[in-house]
Structure 1
């Protein structure tokens, strides 16, 4: 069993999609959960209610991941709310794609602020609260390793940066018994990339399994890394992509 009874997890962007699935899975495995959201108050509240129905404690914290102060405050609030912080899942992200000519400084700054700076700052803040056994898990993307469509330069840049961040965190925090890992989902059936979108058949064709993942399948790998089964895995990038990158 990969239980995490009595631990506290913070999941950024936990109101929908992969973040929601991760928050619920960690609660099912025994963690109390704090989740952040930007705008979708009702969705965040619904996830909190579901976690409470599971029998765990949960709160939702409004935070714009582009705001350094808000990110840091959310981490500190998570630790203060339940008296500890054991697991950080850097899941919140923005998906900005388009021809390179159309992606200017505003798009660059927003993408890097949310997809790179926020995970870095959240990890930095979490490290102050974590003790031995702490887990930092970031959610990247398969396009960090294989970019098959045009228009993904900026998004791929931001997700590839997480590979280096994860390796550095693993080296810095390993002596304290804290692990850091990166999960790269492939095509996953979410609001941002539904399995019935006009390009879905083409996207599926790049996977070995010929299908989209469910958010629960991504959450299962995150939960493994968060639990005892992941205690000797650090600095790793794990592709949960149905064979997209092979």
Structure 2
């Protein structure tokens, strides 16, 4: 359970409650084709039988998600039903999602890849769950319908992969400086100063902030916070003997345990112990 919970947190979902329905909870995983390398991380088909329910906390992560639901749609606690085809933008604050009986496919995207595949300024999607048709147009509605009509996980995942590969051919490409800054932030675990980051890519700090937010969704400073949060969360969820919160704070760049706890409350809405089920 710890391993599954950790992987879900990396996708931006933390399971708070599971109620099994009249049948098994099913999951199927798929690998994207070569045309989508660096853009699509994975496909995950899911099914929850009648009477089942999953209560999920949305937390900041380094991924965007496309969610195509078949059957009963999930809903957000503060804003109602989620569209059958939904884009989950980069987050810097929490939200609660409830998924009932039904099935669907979750697509994990890298932020630079999402810019190419979705073709809109990423800041427009930040902290939102948006109808995929509002982003991709009427063809997205047709794709949602075809997924519902297509039997079998393999055929559904192939349908999605082909549709996204077409988008990848025509979508805008993020600037090399933005991609470089993104990778630098990730490699440094969010510790590289933003001024140094701007110097290394050859842009002013203001220009980096504007372009980065356009093509990633959040500012470099906020992404650095998310990286440190995710790193701390993964350490606190690792199997076996878990490190103390104070120890994790020290190795992930927080000034002390109180600082880490404040960040967890700000980004995830709860304490580290509550989020990790410790």
Task: Give the TM-score, by structure 1 length.
Answer: 0.31
Q: Which has the larger radius of gyration?
A: 2
Q: Counting strand residues as a fraction of each chain, which structure ranks higher? A: 2
Task: Give the TM-score, by structure 2 length.
Answer: 0.28
